Structures are given as C-alpha cells and as structure tokens.
Chains A and B, each alone.
Chain A
Amino acid sequence: MQFLQILIDGFAISSLYGLGAIGFTLIFGVSGVLNLSHGAIMVSAAVVAWAVAGSLNAGPYLGALAGVAASVVIAFATYLLVVRPIQTSRRIPREEKEIFVLTGTLLWGIMLQEAIAYFFTSNPKTVRPLIAGVVNIIGVRTPNQEILTAVLSWLVIGALWLLVNRTRQGKTLLAASINPRGLTLLGFELSSIYLFVWGLYGLLAGIAGVLLGAFLGVSSDNVGTLTASAFSIVVLGGLGSVSGSLLGAYVVGYLETITAYVISPSIRTIPVLLLLVLVVYLRPQGLLGRR
C-alpha cells in the first residue's frame, strides 16, 4: 500500500514541481536570465489567491484567477523594473550582466517576500481547494485536489508544448533561444518576444503557485527554498531544456517522496542534493541538456 501511496503522492508533487520549474527554464532558455525571484512570485500568487478567496469571500475560483493575474503583473514588473534596466544599462560591462541580474532579481525577491510578510504575515497559508472531497484509489485515500493538481499541471504543460511547437508566436520563442541575432535579422522585435515570454512565465509561475498553495500551503518563508528547488530541478534536467526540466522534476519529486516515506521526512532533501552534486560533476550539461 505504501508503494502505491508513494506512486500517487510522488506523481502529484512531481507534476507541480515540473510546472513550477518549466517557467524558470523557459526564461533562461529564451533570454538567458536566471530569475532568483521565482519563489517569491509563486508565493505571491498563492497568497493573493488565498486572500481574495478567503477574506473577500470571492470563492476559490475567483481567488485562483486573481492569484494568477497577480503573478503575471509581478512577472512584468520584474522584467520591466529590474531585468531590462540591467540588460540595457551601458554602465554595466557585458560580462557582469549575469551577476547583476542575479543580484537584482534576488533583491527583488526579498522585497516581495518582505512585502508579503508585512501585509499578510509570514504564517503558513493554505489556499482553499478548487474541488473538495476525497476518492479512494485502490485503497489509497487521495484528495480530489491532488488529482486536480496533477491533471491541471499536465494540461498547462501540454498547452505550452502546443504553443511552442505549433504556433507562430511560439516558434519565435524557440528561435530566440537558439539564435536571437538571426531572429532580429529576420525582422522580429526581440523586446516584444521578451515581453511575451515574461507574460507566459508569469502565467506558469502563477498557476504553479496557486496549486502549490492549495496542495501543500505556502508561507513567505518558503521563498528561498522554492527558488532553490526550481534552480536544482532545472540544472538537473539541463538548463534551458524544457523536457529535461520535466524529467528533473520527476526525479526530484519521487526521490523526495521516497525518502520522506521510507527513511524520514527530516532528511527529505538530502538525497536530492547529493544527486545534484553528482550530476553536476559528471554531466554538467544536465540529464537532457545540450552543450
């Protein structure tokens, strides 16, 4: 029975990890930005969903919608207020842009985190589930919300796949990640592509954040851990590779779940960290990464 429990719980948490990490890897792949305010954006989405659904009595659906909307707005703000000024600044040497973007987004994430803690306290919050109830899957009691989390995550990931591979707008994203200069020569405006990808990122991070808030609950103290876990998943799978990130998410999700059930929840993250060290040393480009 425990085996089945691990299988189900691991699947749900891994899908959620995948959804969370996919936006992170998308931004890196297309614009070369490692967004260290990732966790803060996810938590903002969940907290807004919680606040709107709970205190304003708007119901879970409207709450979730507000959470995702907030995440999109914050993602645009991250790009326009922090990332773009650094990228276009002439006073920052090119080879140091990376560390400035890292430091800038890090500071921005701390600001978001502190703002959440100030207005909503840092107590853990659980977003009201979109659907209530529990079903019995071959003897394992599973909340409907957990199934919804996995299903929704995969629907969104599928939609993203269609967007990138089947639409014109999506194909420009792919092209921008491969050769941005070539794309500009063909007459595409890079800045509008970047805006588009940040909007998309906000959508993905927002959905992931709201689902996470309903599944496990969030607090402004989780911000750092969430960013670190997205970073690890993405590096494990290969920076910039979307399918790699999904694989990485499943490896991390299952490894954590197995450790928590079989050994002890207190060392839940340690095997993942050790695996990460091993992979980075032996295969720095990640499981499915290209060099």
Chain B
Amino acid sequence: MKAFAIPLLVAALLALLPLGVGGYVLGLLTLAYYFGVFAMSWDLLFGFAGEVNFGPSFLIGLGAYSAGLLNHSFHLPIWICVIAGAFTAVVGGVLLAVPALRLSGPYFGLITLVAVLLLQNAIVLFAGITGGEIGLDIPDIISIDDSTNYWVALGFMTVSGMILFGLSRSSVGLILQASGQDAIQAGALGFNVTKHKLAAFCVSALFSGLAGAMLIFYMGTASPGTVVEIGVGVQVIIAAVLGGRRTILGAALGAIFLIVAGELLRPLGQLSTFVVSAVALLVILFFPGGFLGTALHRGEG
C-alpha cells in the first residue's frame, strides 16, 4: 500500500492545479495525461511480458476511430462510444495477438508495425467514411471547460495507473515478468505463458483503446496524425523507456515530460524535436533505468 501513497498524493496535488494555472497549461497537461495512459499500457506489455509492441498506435487508433465513427455517424452518446471503442481495441488486439504471440523478438515487432500501416492505409482508403488524412470531426466533446477536461483526464490516468500498477505488482505481474525473461523456464514451472501474455495484451489494448477514445472526445477530432501514425507509437515507446521501463508509473512521468518539453522548446521551431530526441537518447545511454528506475535505485542503495 505504501507504493500507492506517493503517486496518489501527487495526483491529489495535481488535482488542485486548475485553481492556480490557466487554460493553456491545463490543456497541455490534459493531453499529456492521455499520453501517459498510452505509455503505461505499453509498459505493461513490454516491461512485464517482454514483448516489443511497435504498434501501440494500432490499438489507440482502433479505439479512437471506432468511438469517433459511432459518434460521427450515429450520434451515440459519448460513454457508449468510449466503451465500444475500448471493446473494439480489445477485439482487434486479440485478433492481432493470437497469431502474433507465436512469434518473438523482431518478428512480433514487425507484425505490430504492419498492423499500424494497414490501419492507416484503410483509413486513407475509406476516406469517404473516415475523413481520410484530414481527419474525422467529432460532434460531441467531453466538456468545453478546461478544468473539467483536466480533471477527467487526471482521474482517468490515476485510475488506469492504479489498476495497471496493481496488476504489475500482483502475482499475474510476477508471472508475466518471469515469462518475459525466460519463457521456457516459466512454462516449466507450470504457468501458461501464452495465456498470461494474451491477457496482458488485452489489458494493454483495453486501456490504450479507452484512452484513445477519450482523447478524441477531448480534442473534437480524430486524424491519422494524432492517433494512428507510427510517429505516435514511437512517442509512446520513447516515453515509456524514458520514464523507466517496468515501473508503469514511470511511463506516465515520461509521457508528461515529453509533451511538456516539446511545448517548452516550441520557440526553437523545428529544432525542438531534435533536442527532445537528443535528451531522450542521452537518458537512455547514461541512465538506462529511466527517470523512475534511476530514482528508485538511488533510494534503495
């Protein structure tokens, strides 16, 4: 329980932020919180199950677009769309994972990458329904009030973070970690490695899809550039590794850092992405544990 105390305290402090800062900062952080959920879901799959999923944006995009299309074409209420989006992401994730989990290493990575490219192609090909490259406009939004949006995102990130973190600390998390490090030995101990990995994939897909769907109801639009393209997935992966893999909560820190740093460096223009990537590279080279991994290690030692 001690492990929950500090993050919850931080979340409680962050919840007070709308009293003091303006809509611009809140908007930025809202985006960062959704990104945080993407990164935490990815970390569950990579850090614990040991599977490098190059296509987090396949799951995110699937959730976002199915929710968006339901709202755009059938005007269903937001919460139904979000649940449907998360459900589609899980179904898509299972369809992808069942055959893909027979593969390992680079092959698994490539298949997840191809899934993103196929989804992106499908969206562009059926531009008449999906809005293509330009994007899909979403009639409903969560709220027009910055503070409400901020609290919804923060609450969502906190709850998702607690569930994912709790899961990673449970016996399921330990089994996953074991199968990630030595699948044969974990199997020999009597654990069904594939079943556990599949479960991890489903949980990862569920939260990615949920976050993707909620993100578009915050932004009011869904486009390949924001929820599907490989670049989005790359950002998620960088955030998770930067924050500290196998820590779940570190992934959220990494995501917030990436989004905020990208914004702070905006005056540099095109160079901002260069600087952010360079910083991330330096962290990976010199502090491979990431932010949280390094900090926790210091504390123990």
Contacts and interface: CB of A to CB of B under 8 A. Distances in A.
Contact of A235 (B107, B271, B289): B107
Interface residues of B, number: 40
B103 A102 contact: no
Q: Is the interface of A mostly helix, strand, loop or mixed?
A: helix
A228 B277 contact: no
Nearest to A285: B107
Nearest to B182: A95
Given A82-B281, A281-B99, 11 more contacts: A103-B241, A104-B285, A108-B277, A110-B274, A114-B277, A224-B231, A235-B106, A270-B125, A273-B117, A273-B121, A284-B107
Contacts of A239: 106
Contacts of B237: 103, 106
Interface of A: 34, 82, 85-86, 89, 91-92, 95-96, 98-100, 102-104, 106-108, 110-111, 114-115, 117-118, 224, 228, 231-232, 235, 239, 266-267, 269-270, 273-274, 276-277, 280-281, 284
Contact of B238 (A103, A114, A276, A280): A103
A114 B273 CA distance: 7
Interface string B237-278: 110010001000000000000000000000001110110011
B72 to A, nearest CB: 23
A277 B114 contact: yes
A231 B105 CA distance: 13
Contacts of B230: 224, 228
Interface in B263-301: 269-271, 273-274, 277-278, 280-281, 284-285, 288-289
B46 interface: yes
B141 interface: no
B103 A284 contact: yes
Given A100-B284, A103-B284, A228-B113, A111 B274 contact: yes
B49 to A, nearest CB: 13
